[in-house]
Structure 1
Amino acid sequence: MPIDDVVLNFTPASLIVLNAVLALIILGIALEVRPSDFRTVARHPKAVVLGIGAQYLLLPAVTVGLALLLDVPASIALGMILVACCPPGGISNVLTYRAGGNVALSASMTAVSNLVAIVVMPLNVALWASLNPATDALMRDFSLNRAEMLVQVLLIIGVPFAIGMPLARRFPALTAKALPWVQRVGLVALLVFIISGTASNLGPLREHLGTIFLVVLLHDAVALAVGYWTAAAARLGEPDRRAFAFEVGARNTGLGLGLTLTFFAGLGGMAMIAAWWGIWDILAGLLLATWWRRRDARKAARASAIPGTTETPGPTARKEAP
């Protein structure tokens, strides 16, 4: 069966569960956001504005070109565009820290990007999908209501931010204890939902798994590269480049999956791209972060072994403003 004709079956109850899990994940991000993150943006806007542009303009544009180059089916191409228009996930901060990147910049970009997504994401999906004839036709088939998508995104992102930030400010000690559990439970619950939902719909998708795997692998690699080389082109430092790589490369594809199930009737190609992205970008991100960390350690070891030199460590997870 052509993947554009495959529809995944999820019950209304499962959609409620997914939206609750997504809200929990965003709550985990909101509990980490501090007013200082926004003050940092106000004092040093260049890096954050550049990062927002890379996420919501450059990555979707490159994605449209990649989908056309690969000549993928329309539902897969639309899934790629939807993923590219999603805000970054909270895992980006973890990956940035593990890679020795600029955590302060990463946290600021995550906070601002998620708030920007409330308004920008519905418009962005419609805009970039219209540039590919196949995805444009598919969008018309589903008659996407951008106002309804705006409300959906507002509920999933806006409400957790409205709850999480005041809680963190008023109960810092309690928040510090609860935060790791909120993040872990949200991530595990999302992975369980993705794996169980995929397994229950595996039959009609089996013949397309190879294509999905290859497309996500290439798309995720391109997203990481777009982030890193955007920062490099702006002559930002190595820690900032690593933060950019994960802010652009690690998307909140759970949100994309939820929107696919809600507004696109669980269209198989879209749902599988979003679902597999949610797993693969964590694996790929951990591999890249670990490689960077080990490379820094090797450089430091070589520097300390040269007589007359002092140890020169690689980039660290800086806390200063970008």
Structure 2
Amino acid sequence: MSIDDVVLSFTPGSLVILNVVLAVIILGIALEVRPADFQTVLRSPKAVLVGIAAQYLVLPAVTVGLALLLNVPASIALGMILVACCPPGGISNVLTHRAHGNVALSASMTAVSNLVAIAVMPLNVALWARLNPGTESLMREFSLDRWEMLIQVLLIIGLPFALGMPLARRYPRITDKVRPWVQRIGLIALLVFIVSGTASNLGPLREHLGTIFLVVLLHDAVALAVGYWTAAAVRLDEPSRRAFAFEVGARNTGLGLGLTLTFFAGLGGMAMVAAWWGIWDILAGLLLAAWWRRRDARAGRAAAQPPDAEPPAAEPPAAATNGADR
């Protein structure tokens, strides 16, 4: 069976649970936002604007090209585009910290990107999907209502931000204690939902798992590279490049999965791309962060090692004796 004909079945109750989980994840991000994050935007507007452009223009454009190059089925291509149009997840800040990246820039980009996504994401999905004949036909088939998607994204992202930011500003001590638990619970709940939902629908998808794995692996690697090299192109320093890599590479694919189940009837290729990406980008991000940490440690040891001692100078030759000395 073609993966474009596979539809994952989820009950209405499970969709409500998923939306609540997504709202909790966004609330964890919102509780972390501080006024200083927006001061970073004012101090470094160029970096943040370039980061937003990398996420919502460069990555979707590269994604469309990658899907055409790989010649993947239309539902997988549309899943790739949807993931590319999602805002960054809160895990990007954790990965940036572990990789010795610019955490302040990462936090600022996460906050701004999620707010921008409320208005931009529905338009972005419709825009980039039209550039691939297969995905354009799927968009027509499902008659995506951009305004309805806007309302959905507003509820999932906008409402938690509207609640979380004032709470963090008014009760900083309490939110500092609560935030890590909110973030962990949200992430664990999302992973449980993805694993259990995928397992219950695994039968018709079994023959496509290899394709999904390879597509997500390549797409995630490209997204990380787009972030890093976009920052390099505008000559940002190494910590900022690492922040860009994770801001562009770590997408909130739980949101993509929720939108797939709500607006695309659980279309198999889309749902599997979003579900597996949500697991793989954490694994790939941790591996990349660990590699960067090890590279920094090696560089630190090399810098601390004293230079090799210089060889001793040769002794001057003994003066020749002559007959006068005797």
Q: Same fold (TM over 0.5)?
A: yes
Q: Distance in 2 between matches of 1:246 and 1:240?
A: 10
What do the CA deviations read for 1:73-128 (whole angstroms, capped 9, x no partner)?
00000000000000000000000000000000000000000000000000000000
Equivalent in the alignment of 1:164? 164
Equivalent in the alignment of 1:289? 289
How do 1:45-194 and structure 2 match up within 5 A?
45-194=45-194
Q: Report the residue type matching 1:114 in the other structure.
A: N
Post-superposition shift, 1:38?
Answer: 1.3
Equivalent in the alignment of 2:226? 226
How do 1:218-297 and structure 2 match up within 5 A?
218-297=218-297
Q: Distance in 1 between matches of 2:192 and 2:81?
A: 24
Q: Distance in 1 between matches of 2:287 and 2:179?
A: 25
Q: Distance in 1 between matches of 2:173 and 2:244?
A: 30
Extract unaligned runs of 5+ from structure 1. Answer: 309-322
Equivalent in the alignment of 2:199? 199
SS of the equivalent of 1:111 reads: helix
Q: Distance in 2 between matches of 1:233 and 1:43?
A: 20
Q: Distance in 1 between matches of 2:244 and 2:176?
A: 26
Equivalent in the alignment of 1:9? 9
Work out the number of aligned pairs and report it. 309
Q: Distance in 2 between matches of 1:107 and 1:171?
A: 19
Equivalent in the alignment of 1:40? 40
What do the CA deviations read for 1:54-87 (whole angstroms, capped 9, x no partner)?
0000000000000000000000000000000000
Post-superposition shift, 1:27?
Answer: 0.2
Q: Distance in 2 between matches of 1:68 and 1:307?
A: 53
Equivalent in the alignment of 1:319? none
SS of the equivalent of 1:265 reads: coil
Equivalent in the alignment of 2:299? 299
Post-superposition shift, 1:238?
Answer: 0.2
Q: Distance in 2 between matches of 1:43 and 1:303?
A: 31
Q: Report the residue type matching 1:21 in the other structure.
A: V
SS of the equivalent of 1:131 reads: coil
Q: Distance in 2 between matches of 1:140 and 1:270?
A: 16
What do the CA deviations read for 1:129-165 (whole angstroms, capped 9, x no partner)?
0000110001000000000000000000000000000
Which runs of structure 1 show a deviation greater than 6 angstroms over 4 or more consecutive aligned residues? none
Q: Report the residue type matching 1:141 in the other structure.
A: E
Post-superposition shift, 1:247?
Answer: 0.2
Q: Distance in 2 between matches of 1:27 and 1:306?
A: 49
Extract unaligned runs of 5+ from structure 2. Answer: 309-326
Equivalent in the alignment of 1:213? 213
Equivalent in the alignment of 1:320? none
TM-score by length of 1: 0.95
After superposition, the CA RMSD in angstroms is 1.0
- Structure possessing the higher radius of gyration over alpha carbons: 2
Q: Report the residue type matching 2:247 in the other structure.
A: E
TM-score by length of 2: 0.94
Q: Distance in 2 between matches of 1:276 and 1:206?
A: 13
Q: Distance in 2 between matches of 1:40 and 1:227?
A: 19
Q: Report the residue type matching 2:114 in the other structure.
A: N
Q: Distance in 2 between matches of 1:286 and 1:306?
A: 32
SS of the equivalent of 2:131 reads: coil
SS of the equivalent of 2:266 reads: coil
* Worse-matched range after superposition: 64-73 or 173-182: 173-182
Post-superposition shift, 1:35?
Answer: 1.4
What do the CA deviations read for 1:23-74 (whole angstroms, capped 9, x no partner)?
0000000000011211221232000000000000000000000000000000
Q: Distance in 2 between matches of 1:177 and 1:110?
A: 20
